[in-house]
Structure 1
Amino acid sequence: MFIAVLLPLLFACLVPLLSKWKNAIHTGWFVLLIPSAIFVYLVRFVGQDFSPIRNTYPWIPSLNIQLDFYLDGLSLLFGLLISGIGALVVFYSIYYLHKSEQLGHFYVYLLMFMAAMFGVVFSDNIFVLYTFWELTSLSSFLLIGYWNHRKGSRYGALKSMLITVFGGLSLLGAFVLLSVVADTTSIQAMLDQKEMILNSPLFGWIVAFLFLGAFTKSAQFPFHIWLPDAMEAPTPVSAYLHSATMVKAGIFLIARFSILLSQTEWYFFVVTGIGLITLCWGSFMAVRQTDLKGILAYSTISQLGMIMAMLGFGTKIALFAAIFHILNHATFKGSLFMVAGIVDHETGTRDIRKLGGLMTWMPITATLALFGTFSMAGVPLPILNGFYSKELFFDSAIHLDSFSGWIEALKMAAPYLAVLGSIFTFVYSMYLFFGTFRGKANVEELPKKPHEAPIGMLIPPIILVALVVIIGLFPNLFAESFLNHAASAVKGAEIEKHVKFWHGFKTPLYMSLAVVGLGTLLYLTRHKWTGIYRVFPGSLTFNRVYDWMVDRSEKYSSVITNSYMNGSIRRYVRLTLAAMTIGTFIFLFTTNGLSFTGTSTAEITLPELFIVAMMIFAAVATIFTNNRIAAILILGVVGYGLAILFVMYRAPDLALTQLIIETVTVALFLLVFMHLPELRKRTESVGTKLTNAIISIGFGAMITLVGISSFNSKWFDPISDYFLETSKELGGGKNVVNVILVDMRGLDTLFEIAVLGIAALAIFGLVKIRRNDKEAK
């Protein structure tokens, strides 16, 4: 599994070089090799009753963080979707994106995202999973904003980033609490300790934070608002991120932790409730849209809600149905996104109000759309895979476990909400197909005369639609080979489901017939009732709430920032020193860090007191002098006095270093003497002077106390003992300080020298620029 994560990242480094040849050969042909190879590697596990496979590689052992990768039925399903759909998307993008585009950027972002998704589904370590989780947000931000010259792309990218990263931070909180409670960072080890985690007082916070992470990523209500705006991305991105990968990451997270979370009734209430609301709201809002990808965006929200609800049901049939629909949704939704891209590519618009009658000019595309939309609608035909999982959804909704109290009300309402959401699913599916390909053609109003797409753009959706039909004809071929394994991994117990098209005249069939009947009626009368959208939701949308929150955040943050970022270096120094002083004192007192045992300190003699008094006098004198030369020389007294103290305490190396630094500093001040500003008395208020005095004295006291406390604190064995014992043996030198600098921390010293060298080059460049400017004048 590690190679599946590493290979896309390594190849992403080569893409900028390969993109230089894009005029001769499209960069996508090189990239296509990566997901194809990973898909072939993963396919060999299909049909096997293999035991879970684990690979472990050391990363941060001190924090108990290893690169643990885990392959079971659930991660295999997602791995196949990520690589298989990824290969088709790359193939599709070769014909969708012109060579004049920034192909290097596009494929680097795509490979980053692919690697991140593999990392999410294969990781067994929670912090490794979180790292890849956030990488999906970052790479999707780059993909959604790929056409950054468009305002909508920038807005959609930022929106998705803010919402999903908010969920990601919540997820990090859940993972930190889980690691504290379980004393492990392994997901499988946590699932084995579910009883202890369930009894923890932190369990409520764990569940809340984990749900926030999952719901934001999988666009559940009310966090769904980022997904429609993400449609500004190129269609290959939409087909990949929003049908098979990113939005399914939240689904994967809930599925992976369902063994732990499903032990409480709250799990059923929250996951099922949010899922059903998302199903109904997404399908209802999809009918309102006029953009093809907008319809598909809300349909994706609706379908994700349906899957989430089935995970909330928690029964064996529901979990199998959820897993089955994850596969089915990826096939028909991926093909429909590609169809929408083809329509846009060949007609110049995605506005369904301008489209219609395209079946005459684009018969192959129309046929693909027919299979995709009817499968998404759950039309009861044995060649459409969507019907099977939709009927299993109905069956699971009416066979829920018993619950007590008011949660029982949700159980009773679940079948009705399932039918309601499915009715609107049928309506927007018919609206999408017939509104685009049937009816009166408006060719004259289209930006481009429609024609069939090139074969290269048609091959990927043809393959996906072929899968729709194959799965519909042979569902048990897929159920027995890997779907049952995936469902078993979610349940934590063996699930063997045999899929049948005909179950007799039972309630699920009647529910399906009701969906088709009522859905057809609503579609045919759509123009008579869609006016309801002006009233509900009307102008009260979550998008307006989001925009208000972002606008207020920017406004108030600007006010706060401008209150202290006013260009005054004196204020910056004052605030920095005050914050350091207050923070350090609070930490010292709360951790009992203050220590004043004088047993191990050297005796203070009169000469030392004299030198310290001289240094204090010189330091105070610098405040009151108005002569620049006097200030420089008095400041030098402080430095040379410190060097004398080093000599008296038998630290010749430090004394020599201090003398050199002080001499160089004084010399530099004198060299630039003519350019130093004139010292003049500032007319400051008593309050300002008092504030400066308090900060100065407080900071000095803080440094003094930290130095004394650190010397007297014996919380750990001093590392100096190690250096004294090993400097001769490891470094071959008797001078411990030199051995530390050159051998023990040689790389640190090397980088310090490099920093000084870079600073010197920068100064040289600035001086040269100024000299050239003067000569030019």
Structure 2
Amino acid sequence: MTFIHFFILIPILTAFFIPLIGKLAPKLHLGWPALFVPVILFGFFTAQIPAISAGETISGSVVWMQALDLYFSVYLDGLSLIFTLLITGIGSLVVLYSTFYLSKERESLSHFYAYLLLFMGAMLGVVLSDNLMVLYLFWELTSISSFLLIAFWFRRKKSRYGAQKSFLITVSGGISMLVGFIMLQVMSGTNSIQEIIAMRDSLQEHELFVPALILILLGAFTKSAQFPFHIWLPDAMEAPTPVSAYLHSATMVKAGLFLVARFTPVFGGEATWFWLVSGVGIFTMFWGSFSAVKQKDLKALLAYSTISQLGLIMSLFGLGSAALQGGASTESIIYTKAIFVALFHLVNHSTFKGALFMVVGIVDHEVGTRDIRKLGGLISLMPVTFTLAVISSFSMAGLPPFNGFLSKEMFFTAALNANNLTIFSMETWGLLFPIIAWVGSIFTFAYSMIIVFRTFLGPYRRERLEKTPHEAPIGMLISPIILCVLIILLFFMPNQLSHYLLSPAMNSILPTYQNTEGLIPKISAWHGFNLELFMTAGVVVFGAFLMKTFRFWNFVYDLFPEHRSIDRGYQWVLAKSESGSKRATDLYMTGFLRHYLYYIYGFLLLLVGGTLWLTGSIVIDPSDDVPVSLYEGIIVAVMAAAAIGILFTKSRLTATLLNGVLGYSIAVFFVLFRAPDLALTQLVVETVTTVLFLLCFYHLPEWSKEERSVKVRLPKMIISIGMGALTVLLALSVQGNKMFESISSYFEDSYELAGGRNIVNAILGDFRAFDTMLEVVVLFIAGIGVYTLIKLKAPKGEDDIERE
């Protein structure tokens, strides 16, 4: 195992030790030991910047299941380096922030930090995996760990609902992505992502290419909250603010963007990929910003703003993928810059959105509410928090001197270039991209200003607040201060970021363009009086106008009533699925044991009997059979009479006795076949079973007339005769279809191989020892489950408590 594998596993392994640390040091806030993990990882990945920026890559592979082409393969290049730095860098700040945000007296910190580190390791696995199946494994691990984090305050009904919703949507997309991965493996014959990228040209003509493309995009869209799958993100805001700052600004929602970027070298240049990625992205950008303006809760506003920003980045990746259609021409190089902007804004978004979430968390923590209608006038009471809010909000709005201004200007340039794209029928639809981008940016400016002006300016209304507002402790301010410093530094020194991080990432996404002159644009704040500048001026003017006149035009949202929303559709589908499942279950879960036996044996009859019939495997060859003796014939006749008698008896006691006749007759057969140990076992088991049946049935009433009716007995007779006939036919067919040499000769050496003179005992005790061990493990796991259910019962009076 290489060192980079170890760095992926560090957070996951540490997650298991966090509860132990909490037990050993109960007075220690677990945020401090947890902080070492992301800090160490961030230092390690930072140390790789010089090598990666010089064009090197770091890879390693550990054999997992070689026959299935499963290797724990990792690959660190420019693209994955950006994401690892975001995961560990923002992760360090979030852990530091949560140390002051969460109280160890009121919260289960051992659970919180274990879940957080588990998620961090899963994200590192996603961005570093070079094997499709391993990537999928870590992908679903992010869904599981994020479910645990979102539902951290599990006594809140909304937290449970939000966690369930995010899990159902993202896992559904993950399953479709898995099918797409399997198709890619079928097409390429390998699970290695880098090998698949290398054979891109040979894959494009395959009939599974477009279906695989669509299925993989479904996974990316659900994870990155693209329309119409965006509905899970606002409900996920019920998680603690540190979770929102981490999962929903820098990591989980960025996983879908990473997936699109990683597979752009494979699918880029395909019209379906271009239209889906760019079209869905640009509409998501508009819809998210449009929906954000009407929100009354600050975290809900940030949720929709995140949706909008993710759509913006997604659209840029789609527009940039057009470059792979036309080769390394001058026109194609223009479109590659859209991917550069996507990477640049991805970094910028993580800085200002992470800071904004922390600012909102501070307001909620120190004021006691996030309701915009109750807030206002906090500038004099929380001046530092106000300053941080201004920097991060203005950056999101695209104003100078903040990094969001640079990437927003370049976004306008990319959208305008889309209008000039001469492929994919863009002559007709290209004008929509700059128009939608500009309108969406107007709403972005409006909701960014709402955060500042409605929260910190205006009248102060103490009577509406739950707490007396005051500035947050310095420990809670450190993380957003660091992010805001980065926001300003990136504005003044963007080309350092471009040289060391963005350029290597571009070469990873567009390997055919490596070392192409003019591929990496120079970032500058001033480009003269161009159309992009006028678009920005229009955004400021119209955005300010929309914010000030909101009460006059907010009736527009009534055109999209809640009862017809996508979210309501999700709830309807969920409710119908549950009710439909209940109805379907009620059809076969009748409470009658005989019905369940009908299903089981009927299925076996159809499956096994049908297979024997259709394959022509019913071959009876009696030539090697031993003649049936008179004694054996008499015993068989007795057993047949007893079996038929059970069908017609009117008493449970009689049926039990006849069933005992069958069991004792089998014991006689064992005696005739010289297996006294089996005969003794059969006699003991049959005696105990018969006695138990007699004791139980003695206290039961006699069979009713309905139970003795032909309607009830006929299906039993058919099933019984059918299973008996099937068993006989199966045994005879096996005897007549000897495809392999019998292994009985192997077991005849039981004394030499296992030290047992009794073959049967040797088989049970030695040859099947592994099987027996697994059976014991199953029983042990079941026991743990029962014990856990008993011990984890909620304290009396807390079953229905919900923290609202």
Normalising by structure 2, report the TM-score.
Answer: 0.87
| Alignment of 1:321 onto 2:341 | yes
Structure 1: segments with no counterpart, 5+ residues: 764-777
The answer as to whether partners of 2:657 and 2:690 remain within 8 angstroms in 1 is: no
Secondary structure at the counterpart of residue 564 of structure 2:
coil
Q: Deviations over 1:570-604 (max 9, x none)?
A: 222222222333344455567x3735263885345
The equivalent of 1:535 in structure 2 is 559
Q: Which deviates the most, 657-666 or 100-109? A: 657-666
Q: How does 1:26-105 map to 2 (within 5 A)?
A: 26-48=29-51, 49-99=54-104, 100-105=106-111
Q: CA deviation at 1:447?
A: 1.0
Secondary structure at the counterpart of residue 227 of structure 1:
helix
Distance, in Å, in 1 between the alignment partners of 2:87 and 2:349 is 13
Give the one of 581, 584, 590 matched to 1:566: 590
The equivalent of 1:287 in structure 2 is 293
| Alignment of 1:605 onto 2:605 | no
Secondary structure at the counterpart of residue 69 of structure 1:
strand
Q: Taking every aligned residue pair, what percent have the same amino acid on both sides?
A: 46
The answer as to whether partners of 1:273 and 1:410 remain within 8 angstroms in 2 is: no
Q: How does 1:303-318 map to 2 (within 5 A)?
A: 303-313=309-319, 314=321, 315-318=335-338
Letter in 2 for 1:165: V
**Quick one: structure 1 residues 708 and 323, their matched pair in 2 at CA, closer, same or farther if it must change by over 3 Å?**
farther
Give the one of 693, 701, 705 matched to 1:683: 705
Letter in 2 for 1:84: G
| Alignment of 1:428 onto 2:467 | no
| Alignment of 1:170 onto 2:173 | no
The answer as to whether partners of 1:109 and 1:143 remain within 8 angstroms in 2 is: yes
The equivalent of 1:596 in structure 2 is 619
Distance, in Å, in 1 between the alignment partners of 2:509 and 2:584 is 47
**Quick one: structure 1 residues 354 and 633, their matched pair in 2 at CA, closer, same or farther if it must change by over 3 Å?**
same
The equivalent of 2:325 in structure 1 is none
Give the one of 576, 584, 587 matched to 2:600: 576
The answer as to whether partners of 1:21 and 1:27 remain within 8 angstroms in 2 is: no
Distance, in Å, in 1 between the alignment partners of 2:135 and 2:276 is 24
Q: CA deviation at 1:563?
A: 2.2
Secondary structure at the counterpart of residue 58 of structure 1:
strand
Distance, in Å, in 1 between the alignment partners of 2:781 and 2:687 is 22
Give the one of 472, 475, 498 matched to 2:491: 472
Letter in 2 for 1:747: F
**Quick one: structure 1 residues 283 and 585, their matched pair in 2 at CA, closer, same or farther if it must change by over 3 Å?**
farther
Q: Which deviates the most, 369-378 or 736-745? A: 736-745
**Quick one: structure 1 residues 254 and 759, their matched pair in 2 at CA, closer, same or farther if it must change by over 3 Å?**
closer
Give the one of 352, 362, 366 matched to 2:382: 362
The answer as to whether partners of 1:66 and 1:125 remain within 8 angstroms in 2 is: yes
Q: CA deviation at 1:760?
A: 12
Secondary structure at the counterpart of residue 63 of structure 2:
strand
| Alignment of 1:500 onto 2:487 | no
Secondary structure at the counterpart of residue 57 of structure 1:
strand
Structure 2: segments with no counterpart, 5+ residues: 322-334, 787-804
The equivalent of 1:621 in structure 2 is 645
Letter in 2 for 1:509: L
The equivalent of 2:331 in structure 1 is none
Distance, in Å, in 2 between the alignment partners of 1:171 and 1:520 is 42
Count of residues in correspondence between the two structures: 756
The answer as to whether partners of 1:47 and 1:482 remain within 8 angstroms in 2 is: no
The equivalent of 2:136 in structure 1 is 130
The equivalent of 2:579 in structure 1 is 555
Q: CA deviation at 1:523?
A: 2.4
Distance, in Å, in 1 between the alignment partners of 2:417 and 2:465 is 50
Q: CA deviation at 1:527?
A: 2.7
**Quick one: structure 1 residues 686 and 674, their matched pair in 2 at CA, closer, same or farther if it must change by over 3 Å?**
closer
The equivalent of 1:766 in structure 2 is none
Q: CA deviation at 1:37?
A: 1.5
| Alignment of 1:484 onto 2:506 | no
Distance, in Å, in 2 between the alignment partners of 1:692 and 1:344 is 66
Q: CA deviation at 1:446?
A: 1.1
| Alignment of 1:373 onto 2:393 | yes
The equivalent of 1:523 in structure 2 is 547
Distance, in Å, in 1 between the alignment partners of 2:471 and 2:616 is 76
The equivalent of 2:373 in structure 1 is 353
Q: Which deviates the most, 684-693 or 528-537? A: 684-693
**Quick one: structure 1 residues 600 and 203, their matched pair in 2 at CA, closer, same or farther if it must change by over 3 Å?**
farther
Q: CA deviation at 1:552?
A: 1.4
Letter in 2 for 1:605: V
Distance, in Å, in 2 between the alignment partners of 1:609 and 1:407 is 86
Letter in 2 for 1:72: D
Q: Which deviates the most, 225-234 or 29-38? A: 29-38
Distance, in Å, in 2 between the alignment partners of 1:10 and 1:56 is 19
Letter in 1 for 2:410: L
Secondary structure at the counterpart of residue 352 of structure 1:
coil
**Quick one: structure 1 residues 498 and 345, their matched pair in 2 at CA, closer, same or farther if it must change by over 3 Å?**
same
The equivalent of 2:211 in structure 1 is 205
Secondary structure at the counterpart of residue 232 of structure 1:
coil
Q: Deviations over 1:161-214 (max 9, x none)?
A: 121122122112212222222222222222223234322222232122212111
Distance, in Å, in 2 between the alignment partners of 1:617 and 1:189 is 68
The answer as to whether partners of 2:618 and 2:730 remain within 8 angstroms in 1 is: no
The equivalent of 1:244 in structure 2 is 250
Letter in 2 for 1:594: S
**Quick one: structure 1 residues 629 and 688, their matched pair in 2 at CA, closer, same or farther if it must change by over 3 Å?**
closer
Distance, in Å, in 1 between the alignment partners of 2:640 and 2:778 is 33
**Quick one: structure 1 residues 735 and 550, their matched pair in 2 at CA, closer, same or farther if it must change by over 3 Å?**
same
Distance, in Å, in 2 between the alignment partners of 1:546 and 1:758 is 36
The equivalent of 1:228 in structure 2 is 234
Secondary structure at the counterpart of residue 206 of structure 2:
coil
| Alignment of 1:333 onto 2:353 | yes
Secondary structure at the counterpart of residue 224 of structure 1:
helix
The equivalent of 1:419 in structure 2 is 438
Q: How does 1:397-476 map to 2 (within 5 A)?
A: 397-400=415-418, 402-404=421-423, 406=425, 408-476=427-495
**Quick one: structure 1 residues 306 and 682, their matched pair in 2 at CA, closer, same or farther if it must change by over 3 Å?**
same
The equivalent of 1:770 in structure 2 is none
The answer as to whether partners of 1:723 and 1:736 remain within 8 angstroms in 2 is: no
The answer as to whether partners of 1:643 and 1:656 remain within 8 angstroms in 2 is: no
Distance, in Å, in 2 between the alignment partners of 1:628 and 1:693 is 16
Normalising by structure 1, report the TM-score.
Answer: 0.90
Query: What RMSD, in angstroms, separates the aligned Cα atoms of the two structures?
Result: 3.0
Letter in 1 for 2:403: N
Q: CA deviation at 1:225?
A: 0.6
Q: CA deviation at 1:747?
A: 2.9
Distance, in Å, in 2 between the alignment partners of 1:344 and 1:628 is 69
Q: CA deviation at 1:359?
A: 1.2
**Quick one: structure 1 residues 70 and 730, their matched pair in 2 at CA, closer, same or farther if it must change by over 3 Å?**
farther
The answer as to whether partners of 1:125 and 1:186 remain within 8 angstroms in 2 is: yes
